[in-house]
């Protein structure tokens, strides 16, 4: 942070494989903002629970993993597996897990590391719960078929043998769990801009989002 200027906070929410991760990284680089992929926190909690042979539905195990989370856990090699993805959505449904991760996310937003002017946080509840006062909120989405195609391509490139239908089915199950849970479900904040990336390439999506951020967070007056 420079001087005592308030940190700029950009909140980006949306379902799995909507393009919000790539978009967030590109926007953070363009505006010199730090980036926190909050999904990786839930994935790390889930990966720790699975690696310990525990059940992600076990609230005591999941809360303990969340409370004991270390920055090294965010570098685990098993964060992107389909098993971790499903388990992350299960641990994310537990209020105590969410409470344990809230402070870290808010501190990151208020005082982003690395001498930058602020932060981009992406996830499911950034604009609604973690940073309701964010300067800019985007809700990034795409049709479920587009998202499943993207995720399938990603998995195949990594050597995974999952079929498109399996990926689509797993994605629908995760969407449902993330949207229907009682605590901080995935939903568009009232003041979020909707960005549907179904028909957009990454450059077009970045250009549209950047124009909104420029106007809302960096224009004087």
Residue numbers at the binding site for ligand DC (CB under 6 A): 16, 38-39, 42-43, 88-89, 92, 123-126, 174, 178
Cβ atoms of 56 and 62 within 8 Å: the answer is yes
Q: Which is nearer to ligand DC, 118 or 150 (CB)?
A: 150
Kindly state the smallest distance separating residue 171's Cβ from ligand DC, in Å: 10
Which of 54, 51, 59, 25 is CA-nearest to residue 39? Answer: 25
Kindly state the smallest distance separating residue 144's Cβ from ligand DC, in Å: 14
Q: Which is nearer to ligand DC, 1 or 162 (CB)?
A: 162
Kindly state the smallest distance separating residue 135's Cβ from ligand DC, in Å: 18
Q: Which is nearer to ligand DC, 180 or 215 (CB)?
A: 180
Kindly state the smallest distance separating residue 64's Cβ from ligand DC, in Å: 18
Q: Which is nearer to ligand DC, 4 or 133 (CB)?
A: 133
Helix axes 82-91, 59-67, angle to 10 degrees: 100
What is the Cβ-side half-sphere exposure of residue 19, based on CA atoms within 13 angstroms? 27
Cβ atoms of 17 and 147 within 8 Å: the answer is yes
Cβ atoms of 121 and 20 within 8 Å: the answer is no
Question: Which segments of the chain are extended strands (E)?
Answer: 8-13, 34-37, 118-123, 136-141, 193-196
Q: Which is nearer to ligand DC, 1 or 135 (CB)?
A: 135
Kindly state the smallest distance separating residue 13's Cβ from ligand DC, in Å: 7
Q: How far is CA 58 from CA 50, 93, 173, 185, in A?
A: 11, 11, 19, 20
């Amino acid at each position: 942070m420079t001087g005592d200027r308030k940190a700029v906070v950009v909140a980006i929410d949306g379902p799995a494989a909507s393009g919000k991760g790539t978009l967030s990284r590109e926007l953070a680089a363009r505006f010199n903002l730090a980036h926190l992929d909050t999904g990786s926190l839930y994935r790390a909690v889930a990966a720790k629970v699975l690696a310990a042979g525990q059940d992600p539905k076990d609230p005591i195990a999941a809360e303990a993993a969340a409370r004991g989370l270390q920055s090294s856990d965010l570098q685990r090699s098993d964060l992107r597996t389909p098993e971790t993805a499903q388990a992350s959505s299960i641990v994310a449904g537990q209020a105590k897990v969410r409470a344990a991760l809230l402070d870290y996310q808010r501190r990151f937003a208020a005082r982003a590391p690395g001498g930058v002017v602020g932060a981009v946080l992406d996830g499911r509840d950034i604009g609604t719960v973690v940073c309701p006062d964010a300067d800019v909120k985007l809700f990034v989405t795409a049709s479920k078929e587009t998202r499943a195609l993207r995720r399938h391509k990603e998995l195949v490139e990594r050597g995974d043998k999952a079929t498109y239908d399996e990926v689509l089915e797993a994605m629908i199950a995760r969407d449902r769990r993330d949207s229907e849970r009682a605590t901080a479900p995935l939903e568009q904040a009232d003041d979020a801009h909707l960005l549907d990336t179904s028909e957009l390439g990454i450059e077009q999506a970045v250009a549209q989002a950047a124009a909104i951020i420029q106007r809302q967070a960096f224009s004087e007056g």
